[in-house]
């Protein structure tokens, strides 16, 4: 028997019937904003105890070639500049490069081309825990440059400082960037 609709819900092959609907939306948009011509942005709007996990999308266009875009977590009113533990790798021109560990930031986009768009999507996990190293940031980014090369980065990291995450800070290594940022709460 296939999955089918019955008068009381959805019937599965084992004859069980689900009578309750799944959540209307697993992702809830809590912040959407334009980023315009600055070298850094700290995003705090949307972070609350309502959600333990968040999904974000960052699309940027840097003003200067060869720049990196990095992230730092905000706990309380402080953007943390130390105690990071992150690992990652990126694929570039057919090669796989393992990134070193950075103690003062989490790398997001590696060596962008000026005027070329780059996108990052990622998850902030367990942001309301106050235990040290309890929160994690996982992300992927894709930069497509001149000549159709692609730079794909996969990163995971955390910060050893205690306290709930109250925001995320993005900054560029040189110049400025424009773009958009969207933050979604993941329904519990």
For the stretch 12-29, pLDDT in tens is 555 666 655 445 568 899
Residue-averaged pLDDT of the chain: 80
For the cut 70, the answer to whether the pLDDT of residue 32 exceeds it is yes
Q: Is 2 a member of any domain? A: no
pLDDT, one tens digit per residue, over 62-88 is 888 878 888 999 999 999 999 888 888
Tell me the C-alpha distance between 141 and 41, whole Å.
Answer: 18
Task: Please give the pLDDT value at position 17.
Answer: 63
Lowest-confidence range among 88-97, 117-126, 139-148? 139-148
Name beta bridge partners: 124: 54, 137
Q: Is 6 a member of any domain? A: no
Domain that holds residue 120: 23-186
Specify the number of domains making up the chain.
1
Q: Is 15 a member of any domain? A: no
- Rounded average pLDDT over 33-57: 92
Cα angle vertex 87, ends 28, 158, to 5°?
A: 50
Task: Please give the pLDDT value at position 77.
Answer: 94
Q: Is 16 a member of any domain? A: no
């Amino acid at each position: 028997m296939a999955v089918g609709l019955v008068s009381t819900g959805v019937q599965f092959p084992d004859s069980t019937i689900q009578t309750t609907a799944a959540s209307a939306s697993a992702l809830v948009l809590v912040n959407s904003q334009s980023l315009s011509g600055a070298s850094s942005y700290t995003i705090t709007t949307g972070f609350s105890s309502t959600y333990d996990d968040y999904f974000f999308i960052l699309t940027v266009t840097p003003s200067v070639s060869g720049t990196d875009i990095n992230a730092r977590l905000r706990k309380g009113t402080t953007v943390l500049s130390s105690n990071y533990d992150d690992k990652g790798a990126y694929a570039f021109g057919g090669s796989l490069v393992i990134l070193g560990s950075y103690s003062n930031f989490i790398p997001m986009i590696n060596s962008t081309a000026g005027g070329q768009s780059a996108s990052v999507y990622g998850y902030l996990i367990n942001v309301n825990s106050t235990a040290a190293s309890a929160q994690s940031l996982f992300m992927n980014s894709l930069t497509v440059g001149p000549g159709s090369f692609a730079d794909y980065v996969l990163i995971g990291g955390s910060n050893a400082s205690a306290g709930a995450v109250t925001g995320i800070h993005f900054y560029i290594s040189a110049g400025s960037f424009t773009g958009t940022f969207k933050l979604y709460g993941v329904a519990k």
